[in-house]
Amino acid sequence: MLKRIGQNLSTLILSVILATMVWFVAVREQNPPIEADYDRTIQLEILNKPSGTVIFDDITQRVALRLRAPRSSWDQLSPSKFRAWIDLSNLAPGLHDVPVQVEVSDQAITVVEKRPSTVNVRLEPLVEIQVPVTVEVVDSPPIGYIARQPVISPTLATISGPGSIVSQVSQVVADVYLRGAKETVKRSVDLLARNTNGDVLARLTITPPKVDVTVPVEQRFGYRDVSVRVVITGEVAPGYWINNITVDPSTVTVVGGPSALNSLPGYVETAEVDVTNATKSIVERVALRLPTGVSIVQPESGDSNPGGVQVSIEIAAVEGGQTVQRLVTFQGLSESMWAVARPPQVDVILSGPVPRLQALTLQDVAVIVDLFGLEPGTHKLKPTVVVPEALKVQSVLPDTVEVEVGYNPPPTPPYTPTLTGTLTAMPTTPARAAPVAKPEASSSPSATLTSQK
Q: In whole angstroms, what is the distance from residue 313 CA to residue 412 CA?
A: 59
- Residue 277's CB is within 10 A of a number of other CB atoms, namely 12
**Is 267 in the same domain as 246?**
yes
Percent of the chain exceeding pLDDT 90 equals 43
168: Cβ contacts below 8 Å, ≥ 6 apart: 195, 196, 201
**Is 21 in the same domain as 45?**
no
Quick check: bond before 249 cis, omega within 30? yes
pLDDT of residue 8: 66
**Is 96 in the same domain as 149?**
no
**Is 49 in the same domain as 25?**
no
Q: Indicate if the pLDDT at residue 426 is higher than 80.
A: no
The helix (H) or strand (E) run that includes residue 28 is helix 2-30
CATH code assigned at 133: 2.170.120.40
> What range does the domain containing 38 cover?
33-116
**Is 147 in the same domain as 74?**
no
Q: In whole angstroms, what is the distance from residue 49 CA to residue 69 CA?
A: 33
Q: In whole angstroms, what is the distance from residue 430 CA to residue 236 CA?
A: 13
- For the chain, give the number of residues: 453
pLDDT of residue 415: 43
- Reported as a single tens digit per residue, the pLDDT across 308-364 is 889 999 988 878 888 889 999 999 988 888 999 988 988 898 888 888 888 888 889
- Reported as a single tens digit per residue, the pLDDT across 210-256 is 999 999 998 888 888 888 888 889 998 988 888 888 888 888 888 88
Q: Of the candidates 331, 342, 330, which has an alpha carbon nearest to the alpha carbon of residue 378?
A: 342
Per the structure, the count of domains in the chain is 5
- Reported as a single tens digit per residue, the pLDDT across 430-440 is 333 333 333 33
- Reported as a single tens digit per residue, the pLDDT across 39-83 is 999 999 999 999 999 998 888 899 999 999 988 888 888 999 999
- Reported as a single tens digit per residue, the pLDDT across 378-413 is 888 999 999 998 898 988 888 888 899 998 766 655
Pick the last residue of a domain from 193, 219, 245.
219
**Is 165 in the same domain as 239?**
no
Q: What is the DSSP letter of 70?
A: E
**Is 197 in the same domain as 247?**
no
**Is 327 in the same domain as 378?**
yes
pLDDT of residue 439: 35
Pick the last residue of a domain from 219, 252, 275.
219
CATH code assigned at 333: 2.170.120.30
**Is 381 in the same domain as 337?**
yes
Distances (CA, A) of 380 to 190, 295, 328, 374: 71, 74, 13, 11
**Is 445 in the same domain as 325?**
yes
**Is 439 in the same domain as 393?**
yes
Burial 246-262 (b: 16+ CB within 10 A, else e): ebeeeebbbbbeeebbe
**Is 303 in the same domain as 250?**
yes
Percent of the chain exceeding pLDDT 70 equals 82
As a whole number, mean pLDDT of residues 270-298 equals 89
Pick the last residue of a domain from 202, 219, 236.
219
State the DSSP string of 314-353. Answer: EEEEPEEEEEEEEEEEEES--TTEEEEEESSEEEEEEEEE
Q: Which of 288-292, 358-362, 412-416, 443-447 shows the lowest mean pLDDT across its residues? A: 443-447
Distances (CA, A) of 288 to 97, 140, 301, 305, 334: 76, 26, 18, 11, 71
pLDDT of residue 156: 95
Q: In whole angstroms, what is the distance from residue 442 CA to residue 312 CA?
A: 31
- Reported as a single tens digit per residue, the pLDDT across 169-208 is 999 999 999 988 888 999 999 999 999 999 999 999 999 9
CA-atom Rg of the chain in angstroms: 45
Backbone φ and ψ of 397, nearest 5°: -125, 120
The helix (H) or strand (E) run that includes residue 5 is helix 2-30
